Structure 1
Amino acid sequence: MAEIWVFGATGLSGKAIANDLVVGGADVVLVGRDSARLASTAESIGAAVGRRVVSGPADLSERILAEKPRVIINAVGPYGATTPPLLPACLAAGVHYVDQANELEPVQQLLHRHADARDRGVTLMTGAGFGVLATEALVIQLRGDRPPAARAVVAAVPAVQGLGSSVLASAVDVIAYGGRRYRDARLERRRLGADYEQIPVPNEPARGALAVPTGELEAAHRASGAAHVTAYSTEVPNGRLIRAVLPVASAALAMRPVRAGVQRLIGRMRLTPPATGGDVSWAYARLEWADGTRREAWLRAGDGYAFTARVAASVATRLIEGSGKPGAFTPGALFGADLARVAGAELFSSDEVGA
């Protein structure tokens, strides 16, 4: 059975992934909670696709064990809630797993299952989207065959025409987790909003960005080998007033009952964050070495959801074709920086933009 199951297929990201897979000739099964919305999504795709209605991740885990598809793509956040039930089922059933997580904690937890995945002959992939891969690809390209960098800075500046409720749910978890950065190769707690930087963008005004605890932080740390790493994002509002109140919001959301209540409200009302304007998504990376060498690069892509869909579809297709390998990985760590190019991105250094 060569099926690829897409959990969250009625959402913005899941629908785009499923469509890309179908266009590529994959055997796709749409998975979600609402039968009517699944039927509508299947009709909009306009091809023969399977459907599975599940009540949630726990129910899906039972289906995985019973039916053993080849690949599961999890497009439902927050990943701190949806990933933990699915990983044991995928490992037990020998099913490859792919998600678009960009919250630091779920990304780290999946990567810590590397030995388990290798022993079971399964590939676990996290961060298969603009979040994680865009900055990771730049770090991989900048480092090349050089020794580990001393410092790394990465930043994500995505542009999307609309954002789903699962993105907002994941953002709540990121804010609740509080600030983090790597210092002396150790993960260091920081006040959320304390680290702010103007991110250079070629031929455009710089973009203000906050350091946030994303999966990009972990991927950049691993790819660069740097002891000091900070990851920035423009997805969290970063005005002065916002930066002042973020620590209070973080402390409140860190309380499980408060966070759970907010997540329920988001799901019940299908709340979504505001779209990020523009037609071009950017990512930025800067590496510095102990000898004073400094290199920086940018990635340019279109809509962030479209890029994410192409990344996830490409990863799943490669796993079906047997070009992956057992273990737990971020996308660049397994398939290299070229995966971003396959998904339609351009990567270039400061020399190429005359900076």
Structure 2
Amino acid sequence: MGEIWMIGATGRAGRNISAELQADRHRIVLVGRNGQRLAEAAAAIAALGGPPPRTLVTDDPLAQIATGRPDVVVNTVGPFGATTVPTAHACVAAGSHYVDLANEFQPVQSLLGLDPAARTAGSTLVTGAGFGTLATEALVSELCAGRPSPIRVRVAAMPVVDGLGPAVLASVVDAAATGGLVYRDGRLTRSRLGAHLQHTPLPDGTMRATVAVPTGELEAALNASGAGDVIATSSEVPTGRIARVALPIVGAVLRVEAVRRTVIRLIDRWQLTPPATPGEVSWAYASTEWEGGETRQAWLQAGEGYAFTSRVAAMVATRLADGDARPGAFTPGALFGADLARSAGATITLDSNAKDLR
């Protein structure tokens, strides 16, 4: 059983994933800058049973990866646009495996671009190990299994969360600065941020409003389907008329690097967090369309989104630490299939008769 390093161990994601790993008696190293907070996190995790995890206090986790050569590194530190590629590069150089929770488009796409280097080094890199990427990717994989590539795919993520940390808000700022993105005829195309308002159908007959956002789900759905046209939407972005008008303006302002850096520093200093999304059920949705007009739909149902993400990340790290890996760069569903989502507690429902509302 390999050693798993948790970078950002004192944050909510780091603590939750570490608790999942501790329950399975994995060897964990909590990595962070604040020794006192690391000790508190280690004590809380040890209280669950088993030996207390080791702690590593450092301002330079990349240098520690180079010398320590851990079996697996789990990166929970956002914004992932700043941390994903450097940490993954350090893992490749050390021959370690890598896992992160990114769901912004740019870091997910960039991580997947490291596939040749990871193969050469014998490392496995997994990005998007959480609800956002896996939930929709699993549905697309199920809908397209054994079939030719569809011409059109739409995915929607509709998680409920009982609270998020400042790192998530910083990642939202980075994603907004990217602007709207869709795939048209297989080419990445600019779109207005917050466009493509959709009323996503749920199995109980209700509808959930979602709008297009530049998430890692866009890239994962493209790779899982081979479709020419792909749109990723989310309920986590405000869908009201005023908000949809304001989103492109906000995104344009945040594209100014000095503004974006200032906003991210203020988020960290004041410990600002996104609002919770109330509810008991997180949903994901995917629709596919083939030449000739055939359409299929699928839904994924899970509990609170952050808990699901923690289970997914812990399961991916566990499998990599236990040797269930192959070299390269992947999203979680591309590496382990849709059953990974089921193993994390999700239920998948397919319906080839219902029609997507456009």
**TM-score bin, normalised by smaller chain:** over 0.9
After TM superposition, the score normalised by the length of structure 1 is 0.97
Matched, 1:54 2:55: no
Cα distance in 2, alignment partners of residues 49 and 183 from structure 1: 48
Could you list the per-position Cα deviations for residues 89-120 of structure 1 after superposition, in whole angstroms to 9, with x for gaps in the alignment?
11111010000100000000000110100000
- Report the counterpart of residue 330 of structure 1 in structure 2: 331
Note closer, same or farther for the CA distance 1:43–1:288 as it changes in structure 2 (3 Å cut). Answer: same
Q: What pairs with 1:24-103 in structure 2 (closer than 5 Å)?
A: 24-45=24-45, 46=47, 47-55=51-59, 59-103=60-104
Letter paired with 1:262: V
CA contact (8 A) 1:182 1:188 kept: yes
Report the residue type matching 2:32 in the other structure.
Answer: G
Q: CA deviation at 1:10?
A: 1.4
Alignment of 1:88-167 (within 5 A): 88-167=89-168
CA distance in 2, matches of 1:12, 1:18: 10
Q: Is residue 21 of structure 1 aligned with residue 21 of structure 2?
A: yes
Counterpart code for 1:231: A
Alignment of 1:198 onto 2:199: yes
Counterpart of 2:9 in structure 1 is 9
Indicate the RMSD between aligned Cα atoms, in angstroms: 1.5
Residues 242-294 of structure 1 deviation map (CA, whole Å, 9 limit, x = unaligned): 10111110000000000000000011111000001101100000000012110
More deviation, 42-51/324-333 = 42-51
**Contact kept? 2:161, 2:278, Cα under 8 Å:** yes
Alpha-carbon offset, residue 157 of structure 1: 0.2
Q: State the TM-score, normalized to the length of structure 2.
A: 0.96
Give the letter aligned to residue 342 of structure 1.
S
Greater CA deviation, 34-43 or 306-315? Answer: 34-43
Deviation at 1:203, TM superposition (A): 0.9
1:133 deviation in Å? 0.2
Q: What CA distance in whole angstroms lies between the structure 2 residues aligned with 1:352 and 1:182? A: 26
Structure 1 residues 32 and 110, CA gap change in structure 2 (3 angstroms): same
Q: Is the 8 A contact 1:202 1:353 kept in 2?
A: no
**Matched pairs, number:** 352
5+ residue gaps, structure 2: none
Residue identity (%)? 55
The alpha-carbon deviation at position 351 of structure 1 amounts to: 5.9
Q: Is the 8 A contact 2:128 2:134 kept in 1?
A: yes
Q: What is the letter of the counterpart of residue 73 of structure 2?
A: I
- Structure 1 unaligned residues grouped into runs of 5+: none
**1:177-192 pair list within 5 angstroms:** 177-192=178-193
